[in-house]
Amino acid sequence: MTSPFQTLLHPLERYQTTPVLLALSGGGDSVSLLRALLERGVKVVAGHFDHSLRPESARDAQFVDELCGGLRVPLERERTDVASIAGAKGWGLEDAARRLRYGFLTRAAKKHHIHTILTAHTLEDQTETVLMQLLRGTSKAVGMPTKRGPLERPWLGVARAEIRNYLSSLGQSWLEDVSNADSRFTRNWLRLEILPQLRERYPRLDEALSRYATYAREDNDFLEGLRGAVTPYTDWRREPAPIQRRLIVDVLENAGFSLSSEALERVQSALYSPAVRHLSLSHTSSQYKTLTVQSGKLQLEPLKSKKPVFEYPSSWTLRHREAGDVMAQEGGTRKLSDVLIDHKIPREWRDEIWLLAERKQVKWLGLEPVLWAKGLGENQTFYWKEMGFALKEAHQALREGEVPVGAVVLRGTDIVGRGHNRSKAAGDMTRHAELEALREASLKVGPYLTKCTLVVTLEPCPMCLGAALEARVARVVYGAPNPKLGALGGVADLLRHRWGHAFEVIPGVRAGEAGKLLEGFFKSLRENING
C-alpha cells in the first residue's frame, strides 16, 4: 500500500544504500525526519549537540537519548558551553553555535565512517532565511542550498504542516523549543508576526520565495563560474560589476576583513582611482587594517623587491633607501621619494625596496620592472629585449604602409620566426604579424611550438589567438592592448574558455612604444583622408 506521505518519503530514497548522520535536536522536524528515514530502511546514526544556552537543554538531551534508545538508533552526544566560547573568541552567539554544532556533526560522521550529514530544514525555514538575507541587505540572497559538501537538506521543499501530520499519524511526540516564542530574535519575529500576515495576502508565499532562492542560487552559481574563469592578467576595471564584487569579496574574506556593503562599495570605487588608494577597513581581528588599491587591483602584501642578479661596481652599495637619496631620470636628477611616488609605490612599502647606490646617487631600483638611473641601462622587464625585435618588425610594416604590428617567435633565446602585417601588400586581411611569424617558426621547428614564445606588439585578435592555441605555444607576450579586437581582455578574454591547451600570458611589455606607433599611423591615416 502506498504511503500518503510520499512527499516526505520520496526524497529519502537515495539514502537507502548509504548510512547517514542525522542532526537530531528533538524538535518536530528532526524527529519526523528520523522516523521517515527508518521507515525507508535507511541506516541512521543520530547526533545531538547541547549548546548549554537554555535551562531545559538537559531535558532535550534526555528526550533524544530515550527516543534513540527506543528506536535502536546509535546516538552521538556532545555538550558545549557555546556562550563562553563565543565570548572568548569574539564570535557572535549565533555564529558560534553554528560553527560548533557543525564541527561536532563532522567529527561524529567521521567517527562512524559516514559521508552524508542530514538536517531537517523545511520550506518555511527557507522562507525565513531568504527574508532575513534580503532584510540584511546580503548581496547573495540565495537561501540555503539543498547540498553543501557532506551536508544535505532533503526536506527543504517540504511544508511543516505535512511533517506535523506525519508525526500525528505515528503518534510520535516531540519537543517544542520555548525560545522559539521569543520575538526578540529576528527569525522568530518573522515567523510569529510578519510571515502570517504575508501568507494571508500571498497564500503561496513559501513556494514563491523557495523558487526565487533556487533561481537566485543558479544565477549566483553562473556568476561564480565567470568569476572563477578570470585570468591573472585581467584588469578588474574591465569586469562587469557583479564579477568585480565577487573578486573583491574573495580577497577581503581570505585576508580576514569584515565584509559589509559599505566596505565593498569603497573598494569597488577605488578600483577606478588614478591614484593609489589606501583604505582603512574593519578586520576580524577587531582592528582596522589597510588595503591598498592600485591600477585596478588589490594589494595586501608589500611588493617583493628584487635584488640584483648581475655584477656591479665595487663602489656601489646594495641597501634600502636613505634620507637624501636622488636618482638621475629624464629631465634631470630627482628625489628618490618623488621617483617612488611616480611609480605609485605605497609609502609603507618604500623602505623595503632594494637599491644600488653610490653614496646618495641611486643607480638601480629593484622594482618590477627594474628601474635604472638615466644612461646606465634599459628599464627592463621580462621580454623587454625580445619585444624590441617585434617592434623592429612593426617599424618595417610602417615603412611598407601597413598597420604597424610586428611579431617574433622565440625558442629559448633564438628567433625562429619573424613577421609583420602584410595585409595591404598581399590583398589578404588574414596576413597578420602573428600568423606570419608562427608560419615561419612552424617550418623551422615543426607543427607544434610547445617550447616557443610568441612576442607581438599588439594584443592578438581572435584569429591570431586561435592560431597560437593550435600551434601549442608556451606563452604569448604582447605590448599594447587591442580595444577593437583584443582576445585577451581588450574586448573579451577568450582564454576563459577551456580550449584543451593553455599558455602563459604576459601583457603590457613596452606597451607605450607599441601604442604610440599605432596612434601615429592612424592619426596620419585620418589626416590623409580628411585632407
CA terminus-to-terminus distance, the chain: 92
Q: Look-up: residue for cell 578574454?
A: 493
User: Given a cut of 80, is residue 289 above it in pLDDT?
Assistant: no
Write down the mean pLDDT value for the chain.
Answer: 89
In percent, the amount of the chain with pLDDT more than 70 equals: 97
Nearest-angstrom CA–CA distance, 201 and 291: 47
pLDDT for residue 136: 81
Mean pLDDT of 498-520: 89
Bond prior to 369 in cis (omega within 30° of 0): yes
- pLDDT at residue 378 greater than cutoff 60: no
Give the residue from 406, 474, 478 showing the smallest Cα distance to 445.
474
pLDDT of residue 254: 84
The pLDDT of residue 531 is 61
Q: 131 — phi, psi (to 5°)?
A: -65, -40
Helices (H), 237-383: 241-254, 261-270, 336-342
pLDDT higher than 60, residue 165? yes
Residue 2: its pLDDT value, please? 62
Looking at the predicted structure, is the pLDDT value of residue 283 above 90?
A: no
What is the grid cell recorded at 506?
A: 604576459
**pLDDT at residue 379, rounded to an integer:** 52
3-class secondary structure, 200:
helix
Instruction: Categorize the per-residue pLDDT at 302 as very low, low, confident or very high, splitting at 50, 70 and 90.
Output: low
Residue 390 CA to residue 385 CA, distance in Å, equals 9
DSSP state of 181: G
The torsion angle over the Cα atoms of residues 51, 52, 56 and 57, rounded to 10 degrees, is 40
CA dist 300 and 348 (Å) reads 12
Determine the pLDDT at residue 244. 92
Looking at the chain, the whole-number percentage of residues with pLDDT higher than 90 is: 60
Q: What is the pLDDT of residue 335?
A: 93
Rounded Cα gap, residues 486 and 404, in angstroms:
16
**Cα–Cα distance for residue pair 22/33, rounded to 1 Å:** 8
Query: For residue 118, which amino acid is it?
Result: L
Residue identified by cell 600570458 is 505
Q: Assess whether pLDDT exceeds 90 at residue 251.
A: no
Q: With bands split at pLDDT 50, 70 and 90, how would you rate the model's confidence at 203?
A: very high
85 vs 300, which has greater pLDDT?
A: 85
Here the cell at position 459 is 594584443
Coil, strand or helix at 213: helix
- pLDDT, residue 413, reads 87
Instruction: Render pLDDT for 103-154 as a digit per residue (tens, 0 to 9).
Output: 999 999 999 999 999 999 999 999 999 999 998 876 678 999 999 999 999 9
pLDDT recorded at residue 138: 65
